[in-house]
Every structure is written in C-alpha cells, then in structure tokens.
Amino acid sequence: MFAYYLDLAMRSLRRHKILTGLMVLAIALGIGASMTTLTVMHVLSGDPLPGKSATLYYPQLDPRDSQDVRPGQEPPAQVSWMDGMNLLKAGRADRQALMTGGAVPIQPPDASIDPFFEDARFTTREFFAMFHVPFLYGHAWSREDDSNDARLVVLSRRINDKLFGGADSTGKMLRTGGKEFRIVGVIDDWRPTPHFYDLMTGGYADSEGVYLPLLTATDLKFPTNGSRDCWGNGANIDAKTALCTWLQFWVELDTPAKAAAYKQFLLNYSRHQKSLGVYQREPNVRLRNVMQWLDHNHVVPSDVHLQFWLAMGFLVVCLVNTVGLMLAKFLRRAGELGVRRALGASRRSLFAQLLVEAGAVGLVGGLGGLLLSLLGLWVVRMQPSDYAALAHLDLSMLLATFALAIGATMVAGLLPAWRACLVPPALQLKSQ
C-alpha cells in the first residue's frame, strides 16, 4: 500500500510543480536555518569528556576579607596559591591538579623559525591522567618533579610538528621563557570542547601548546593568562602570598559518596582556616562537576542562543507556510479524492495517502535543508569567534535533520490531510 501511495504522491507532486517547489523550498530553508543553529548549540553545549566528566569536580572556597560581603554570595571562581597548595597536598581526592593558563616565549632550536609566544598550561602532573590526555610520545613528569622546580616540558602535537617535524622529541631540550627545558612527553591531538578546565582563558579556546610544572613556572615568574581577583591590599608582587585567586583546582571523585565526603572536607578546611584567622568569612564552598560548572557559567554564548531562537521562529513561519500551501494543494484535489472515496477507499487510507505525500515533501525538503545547513555551517566557520572552527555536522545531527524535516512536514500535513478527507464523495462527483 505504501508503495502505491508513494507513487500517487510522486505523480501529484509532479503535477503541481510550482506549488511543490514552494513547499520544498520553505521546508528546506526552515530546516537549513534551524539545523545550522542547532548544530552549533549541540557542539557548544556538549560534554567535553564524555563518560568522565561526571567524576570531575571543581572546588571553590571563599578566602576573601569581610569587605563587600553580600548574603548568598558565590565564592570566587578560582583559588589562591595557598588554598590550592593546601588542597593539593591534602590529597583527599582520587586525583587532583592545580593549574593556571600562561604564555611563554619559545626560541626554536631551528634558527630558521622566529621565536614565538605560545599559550601554556602551568599545572601539576595528574592533569594528564585526570583529563585523559593521550600521549603520543613519552609521558607526564613524575610526582617529585611537581615540587623540585624541574625544568621539564610536555608539548602538544601541533608544537612538536612545528618544531621537530613530528619526530619523537622526548629527551631533547627546548628554550622556553629564556631557560632550557627538557621535553618529557608529546601529547596527541586533544581539544576538549568547551575548554572546561579554565573558562577564564576562553570558553572554547584551543588547548594549550606547552605544559610546564606549575611550581617551576611560578618560581620563574612566567606571565599567567586569565583573570586574577584580589581583595584587601592584595595586588602583591609575590604570587604565592598575594591575596588573590588566580588558579584552577580540579579533583577526581569516583563516587557520589566520595564527592559528599570531599565537600565536607572543604567545609572543615574553611572552618579550620577561619579558626586560624586566615579566613574572615563563614565557610562558603561549592563543589560542582564539569557539566554543572559549565552550566553555572553560561558557557554557551548568548548570541548562539539568540540565533537558535531566531531560527526556530523562522522554522515555525516556514511550517505555517507549508501547512497553508499543502491545504491549498490537497483541497484542490477534492475531485480526485472524491473519486477515490466513491470507488471505496476509506477516509483512513486517504489520510495515509496524503500523509505519505507530506512526508515525501519533507524528505526532499530535508535533503535541501541538509545542503543548506552544510552551507550555513560553512558560513559559521568563516566567522571570527573561537568556536567557529568547531561547527561541523556529525552523524547524530545528520539523522536529526531528516527526522526533523519529515516529522515537521507530517505535522504540517495533518490538518490539510484531515480537511481533505472530509470531502463528501457524492458532492464532488456531482459537480464534475
């Protein structure tokens, strides 16, 4: 029966080429626009580390002085050196890492390449294991190297390609920030999206090119990237004692029970600091996992949301348009439908036939929409924003395109099909 309906649909669509064309065009435009923005939303609001992110938590403490206290205030978005080091050394989580963004000048061994600045991450060793960073060559530095000012560096694949032509560079020396560093590892392509572990350096920033031990970089006074929030007379020169928050601290807690215990530990830590007179405020802690942290920071740009709503509005207009055109088309065929009814076709089969026709329009419109959304995503990639390069259609969005196109046209076809089925056969036959 379906094949017969499809055949009828094709005949009818071919008969009214302009009307069919208008319907397909409207669907294609609506689907194209909405799938473009939906894909961008999908990419930008995705899970940076699927399967892992639920066990990664971002502790926040409130070490600020008693000025500017407001009830229900959020603790600072980062931690101070002192708190970060205390939590790191306490080692209460399964894994933990303290880090900040930075920028270092690199003087390539090959003199034909000009010195350049590269975004760096100053971090402690468990960063790599905790965030599932894949190693191409070598490995992370050792636990001891975190605390002995070791001059070691891990390179990204991009930098290794640039400086060493992609060869295994572990063991070689690299002049970084005017000092010699030994390369211990090269990581493979790795770009978590969003750049969840440090939103201060850009929510969709590319991952860094070089990784240095945090203590080494801090002792060498390498410049940091990101934001630094100070209180009191905090803008002190020594980063280690400054009354400023400027580091990100991440912990891995494999079970919810451990997470609850860790939160309690943060509260106890805050109380202890207050009893020592270091903290002036009541304990004020947060412990969010990756997705909660991204959500809390509204990491998806509001322009992207706005574009999504615009596209949805546009899709609705396109669908209303299609309903109108389809209604016109179906009612125009009242005569033909009357004949089929008179020859014994039930309303139900007429209804099915018309819905198949609507679905066929949706399928063709969906194809057009797919092409348009590929074009739309290409336009998005031309945009200057740092997430632009990420806008690609994946398989799930491809399938969603067709599901949306066909589903939407079927819904749009319901009313016209129902109206057309109500045609009394006798009246139609008589007027012929």
Partner 1 sequence: MDIGPILSTLRRHKITAMLLIVEMALTCAIVCNAVFLISQRLERMHIPSGVAEHQLVMVQVANIGIQPDAKARTQADLDALRRIPGVKQATLASQVPFTNSSSNTSIRLTPTQKLATVNATQYMGEDLIDTLGAQLIAGRRFRADEYLDYDAVVHNLDLVRNHTPSVIITKALAERLWPGESGLGKQFYFAGVGVRVVGVVKALIRPSLSLGDAAAHWSMVFPMRMSSDNANRYLLRTDPKDRDRVMAAAGKVLRQLDPNRIVLAKKTLDQLRADFFRNDRAMTATLLGVIVALLTVTALGIIGLASFWVAQRRRTIGVRRALGATRAHILRYFQTENFLLASIGIALGMVLAWGINLFLMQHYELPHLPWTYLPIGALALWLIGQLAVLGPALRASRVPPVVATRSV
* 320 is a contact residue toward partner 1 (CB under 8 A): yes
Q: Are 108 and 176 in contact (CB under 8 A)?
A: no
Nearer to partner 1, 21 or 166 (CB): 21
What's the rounded Cα separation, in Å, for the pair 30 and 23?
A: 11
Q: Rule CB under 8 A: choose which of 13, 24, 29, 159 binds partner 1.
A: 29
* 233 is a contact residue toward partner 1 (CB under 8 A): yes
* 303 is a contact residue toward partner 1 (CB under 8 A): yes
What's the rounded Cα separation, in Å, for the pair 223 and 138?
A: 27
* Site string (90-109) toward partner 1, x via CB under 8 A: -------------x-x-x--
Q: Are 241 and 84 in contact (CB under 8 A)?
A: no
Place of tokens 């309303």: 347
Minimum Å distance from CB 86 to partner 1? Answer: 25
Nearer to partner 1, 59 or 368 (CB): 368
* 432 is a contact residue toward partner 1 (CB under 8 A): yes
Q: Are 326 and 22 in contact (CB under 8 A)?
A: no
The residues in 328-347 that bind partner 1, with binding defined as CB under 8 A, are: 328-329, 332
* 14 is a contact residue toward partner 1 (CB under 8 A): no
The two three-digit tokens of residue 13, written as one number: 């669509």
Parallel/antiparallel/unpaired status of strands 179-187 and 152-156: parallel
Nearer to partner 1, 244 or 266 (CB): 244
Angstrom distances, CA of residue 126 to CA of 83, 167, 194, 197, 247: 18, 25, 20, 13, 15
Window of 21-29, 157-165, 206-214, 275-283 that interacts with partner 1 by CB under 8 A: 21-29
Nearer to partner 1, 6 or 304 (CB): 304
Nearer to partner 1, 220 or 267 (CB): 220
* 305 is a contact residue toward partner 1 (CB under 8 A): yes
The residues in 33-72 that bind partner 1, with binding defined as CB under 8 A, are: 33, 67-70
* 324 is a contact residue toward partner 1 (CB under 8 A): yes
* 247 is a contact residue toward partner 1 (CB under 8 A): no
What residues contact 329, with CB distance under 8 A and at least 6 apart? 12, 16, 19, 20, 23, 416
* 112 is a contact residue toward partner 1 (CB under 8 A): no
Nearer to partner 1, 296 or 419 (CB): 419
Please work out the total of residues on this chain that contact partner 1, with binding judged by CB under 8 A. 57
Nearest of 160, 155, 204 to residue 184 by alpha carbon: 155
Q: Are 376 and 33 in contact (CB under 8 A)?
A: yes
β-partners of residue 210 are 120, 155
* 351 is a contact residue toward partner 1 (CB under 8 A): no
- Identify the H or E element spanning 107: strand 95-107
Question: Which residue spans within 110-233 are E strands per DSSP?
Answer: 116-123, 135-138, 152-156, 173-176, 179-187, 210-213, 224-225, 229-230
* 383 is a contact residue toward partner 1 (CB under 8 A): yes
Nearer to partner 1, 12 or 124 (CB): 12
* 166 is a contact residue toward partner 1 (CB under 8 A): no
What's the rounded Cα separation, in Å, for the pair 393 and 397?
A: 6
DSSP string, 301-349: -HHHHHHHHHHHHHHHHHHHHHHHHHHHHHHHTHHHHHHHHHTT--HHH
* 297 is a contact residue toward partner 1 (CB under 8 A): no
Place of tokens 């194809």: 367
Nearer to partner 1, 221 or 272 (CB): 221
Angle between the N-to-C axes of helices 395-421 and 334-342, in degrees from 0 to 180, rounded to the nearest 10: 70
Q: Rule CB under 8 A: choose which of 160, 273, 321, 428 binds partner 1.
A: 321
Q: Rule CB under 8 A: choose which of 113, 260, 310, 422 binds partner 1.
A: 310
Nearer to partner 1, 173 or 317 (CB): 317
What's the rounded Cα separation, in Å, for the pair 80 and 240?
A: 8
Q: Rule CB under 8 A: choose which of 260, 306, 422, 426 binds partner 1.
A: 306
Q: Rule CB under 8 A: choose which of 307, 349, 352, 425 binds partner 1.
A: 307
**Burial of 377 from C-beta contacts in 10 A (0-12 / 13-18 / 19+):** buried
* 73 is a contact residue toward partner 1 (CB under 8 A): no
* 134 is a contact residue toward partner 1 (CB under 8 A): no
Q: Rule CB under 8 A: choose which of 239, 299, 389, 415 binds partner 1.
A: 415
Kindly list the residues in this chain that would bind partner 1 in the complex (CB under 8 A). Answer: 18-19, 22-23, 25-26, 29-30, 33, 67-70, 103, 105, 107, 114-117, 177-179, 221, 232-235, 237, 301-303, 305-307, 310-311, 313-314, 316-318, 320-321, 323-325, 327-329, 332, 383-385, 415, 419, 432
